[in-house]
Amino acid sequence: MAMTRLEYRDVTMRFPDAAGGSVITAIRNVSFSITDGEVVSLIGPSGCGKSTLLNIGSGLAPPSEGKAFVDGEPVEGPNRHVAFMLQKDLLLPWRTILQNVMLGTEIQGKNKPASITRARELLQNFRLGEFANHYPHQLSGGMRQRAALARTLAVDPSVLLLDEPFSAVDAQTRIMLQQDLAQTLKRAGKTALLITHDLAEAVILSDRVLVMSRRPGHIVDEIKIDIGDRDDPLTRRRDSKIAAYLTQLMERLDIGHAELEEQRA
């Protein structure tokens, strides 16, 4: 039986409104788990709490109720078993690409020669080996995102949390980055939770897709993806079954909205 890497148990998150008055419930009673080596995408309307779940899983924000667990241990704060990649690359402009990739391992105090070797291997895997001594402003947006992904993997996390990591690049670059990510996750056997608004991206990169309702967000469906190898997004994208998955996801998003309206009535 595969080990559970990331788990949410009855997680609810509330925030005060901007005026500090009434309380807004962002997510309510969310429970799901992700096993070792699995990639799961989380989709739902804007504001339904997807990023909030990643913040909770990374230890950046404690939930109002419930618990998140990584490798069976409760998440009490940021820890070295989880790596978080955001929409922007957030590379430090005064550091070379190699130095940026090594940032996390430096913070963790890992052996420097070993960290350099690991960083160079990752840059080579992401076709950035010849740019190790360049600075971020000398790279294209897609190259910077690949460097950011290398930095995320350099600390060898148990779980990767990916918050729309390709939303800031053009369509052609996005397809290339999807290929890079899929092959890297499969090769390294990494576990990942991915947020995306791109339904096709969710299907081609994932083993499962979880659909959330409008706020307060909760899981309204789980869809298992069975269209060939996950490490080959281009082949998955051409599969004849992808249209049916996209239709199913769009229908479930509408159902999630309808369910919430019924609750409010």
For residue 255, what pLDDT is reported? 55
Question: What is the C-alpha separation between 67 and 83, in angstroms, rounded?
Answer: 18
**Which residues are CB-contacts of 187 (< 8 A; sequence separation ≥ 6)?**
231
Domains and CATH numbers, the chain: 4-81+160-166+173-264 (3.40.50.300), 91-156 (no CATH)
Residues of the chain scoring pLDDT < 50: 256-265
Dihedrals phi, psi of 78, to nearest 5 degrees: -55, 140
Residue partners of 209: CB distance under 8 A and separation at least 6: 40, 41, 42, 43, 202, 203, 222, 223, 225, 249
- What local confidence, expressed as pLDDT, does residue 256 receive? 47
Confidence at residue 21, expressed as pLDDT on a 0 to 100 scale: 66
Q: How high is the pLDDT of residue 108?
A: 81
Distance, CA of 209 to CA of 236 (rounded, Å): 15
Tokens read off for 133: 């001594």
pLDDT for the residue 28: 95
- Radius of gyration, alpha carbons of the chain: 19
89-130 confidence digits (pLDDT tens)? 889 999 999 999 999 888 888 878 888 998 999 999 888 999
Please choose, from the candidates 228, 235, 171, 230, the residue with its C-alpha nearest in 3D space to the C-alpha of residue 205: 230
d(CA 12, CA 82): 21
